[in-house]
Amino acid sequence: MTTYGGVEAGGTKWVCAIGNGPDDLHAVETFPTTTPAETLARTADFFAQNGGVSAVGVGSFGPIDLRAGRVTTTPKRGWANTDIVPVLHDALGVPVAFDTDVNAAALGEGRWGAAVGLDTFCYFTVGTGIGGGVMAGGRLVHGLIHPEVGHMLIPHDRARDPFAGSCPFHGDCFEGLAAGSAIERRWGKPGEELGDRSDVWELEAEYLALGVVNVICVMSPQRVILGGGVMKQPSLLPLVRARTRELLACYVVAPGLSAGLEEYLVSPALGDRAGVLGAIELARLAASQS
């Protein structure tokens, strides 16, 4: 039976898996992101030790160069301009597909999860950073490079929120205001230690809703999926839905935007496995085209 390898290559951890989908994973391993040489060697060892695969898909933190198969200007220390695809291809001798971690997650949700049957949608991950994977017309979006949803510029009311922002490139961009790292720096504690404080989560919902509304107006997605560790705060998604509806101000009229947006702004059906499962789908597509 043909099997594929998937890698969710994050700035904090890498998740490797072998299989064909959510109900067919033969092996899964998670390990910390250390140096490029050590991390890539451990990845290659995982696939070598767990049987052969026909292709490997990698959904990587970025920014990335899709054509060269490398990470480019990441602030992750030691990883800027690191080759990913050439190293894994040389080690494994199989096709290696490459995309952003959030595009991979979007692909997984489109194949097996919350976006099945849709051809235009967006997947946000709100964790240490913020990223967005975009599917339009049934294809992952690639243009000049790839979508950088996390670095769009959104309104920043400095009277309400004097925090300068945490992005090393843009300061108070979307990620700089609303990512998990921004929450921790603004409030002095990570989000999971801040409980149900209304001031924390209403401000977070404000920023997330601003980002969502921008994406709705620009690409008109049939659904928006909000994943990542920050979205595990129980009160947050309802707050984002309510504020998104207010910000849209009844301008965009569509069935999916009626009532409380419960069917429009949703959690990932694949949970934390969306990225690695999407990477497996990247591998399957690469094998079918080789």
Confidence (pLDDT) at 213: 97
How far apart, in whole angstroms, are the C-alpha atoms of residue 116 and residue 111? 6
Q: What is the pLDDT of residue 38?
A: 98
Please list, in sequence order, all residues whose beta carbon lies within 8 angstroms of the beta carbon of residue 129, skipping any fewer than 6 positions away: 11, 61, 150, 175, 179, 180, 181
Task: Record the tokens describing residue 232, joined without a space.
Answer: 């595990």
Question: Quick check: 100 and 131 in contact, CB under 8 A?
Answer: yes
Query: What is the third-level CATH fold of 114-268?
Result: Nucleotidyltransferase; domain 5 (3.30.420)
Confidence at residue 136, expressed as pLDDT on a 0 to 100 scale: 96
Taking the CA atoms of 160, 166, 171 and 174 in sequence, report the sign of the dihedral they define. negative
Mean pLDDT in consecutive groups of 10 residues from the start of the chain, 290 residues? 92 95 93 97 95 93 95 93 97 96 97 97 95 96 92 97 96 98 97 96 98 96 96 97 95 84 96 96 90
pLDDT at residue 260, as a whole number: 85
pTM score over 0.85: yes
Q: Give CATH superfamily name and number for 4-100+272-289.
A: ATPase, nucleotide binding domain (3.30.420.40)
What is the chain's Cα-based Rg?
19
How many Cα neighbours within 13 Å face the side chain of 4? 25
In whole angstroms, what is the distance from residue 200 CA to residue 160 CA?
Answer: 12
Is the Cβ–Cβ distance between 119 and 135 less than 8 Å?
Answer: yes
The confidence score (pLDDT) of residue 289 equals 82
- Measured CA to CA, the distance from residue 49 to residue 47 in angstroms comes to 5
The domain ranges of the chain are 4-100+272-289, 114-268
User: Tokens at residue 189, please?
Assistant: 């504690």
pLDDT at position 2 is 83
Among 32, 2, 27, residue whose Cα is nearest residue 17: 27
Distance CA 103, CA 139 (A): 10
Q: What pLDDT, on the 0 to 100 scale, is given for residue 1?
A: 66
